[in-house]
Amino acid sequence: MPVNLQDNFLKERYEQDEKYIYVYDIYTPNYNRPVLTSKFYSKYEGDVAEVDPIKLETLRAAKDRGPKDKREWPETTSHYGWFLTPLVDYDRDDSRLYFPRRSSEMTRHAVRVLLSKVGGKEMN
């Protein structure tokens, strides 16, 4: 019976896996090795050094600015609303290009209730 090439390959692969790969069943910490990360929430570990004000301002600006303030063009095609000016002038009476949000008396009442809870203005 001739030996299949795929069988030889699988046998060799199995022997290499058996030789070089060991699956651990029990996980124990190595107490002789230093810890890479400390507990960031601990008040006893880690020294808080003086923060560079330029780096702090850069981080605040990156957090507070929106994507349009950071970049001139969108990075991906999923940035809907990047360009706010319409490409075609439209008439608000033409229903083909203008789709205003419609509301019913029930939704207007719900908005009034929600606004009254937060102390907002009344809606007409």
User: What's the pLDDT tens digit per position in 19-51?
Assistant: 998 887 887 877 787 766 666 666 666 665 677
Q: What is the pLDDT of residue 122?
A: 52
Parent domain of 8: 1-29
Q: Is residue 11 part of a domain?
A: yes
**Domain-located, residue 94:** no
Q: Residues 123, 109: contact at Cβ < 8 Å?
A: no
**Alpha helix locations (H) across 21-70?**
53-64, 67-70
pTM above 0.85, yes or no: no
Statement: residue 63 has pLDDT above 90: no
**Total domains in the fold of the chain:** 1
Mean pLDDT calculated for residue range 55-80: 80
Distance of CA 79 to the CA centre of its chain: 14
What share of the chain has pLDDT > 70, as a percent? 80
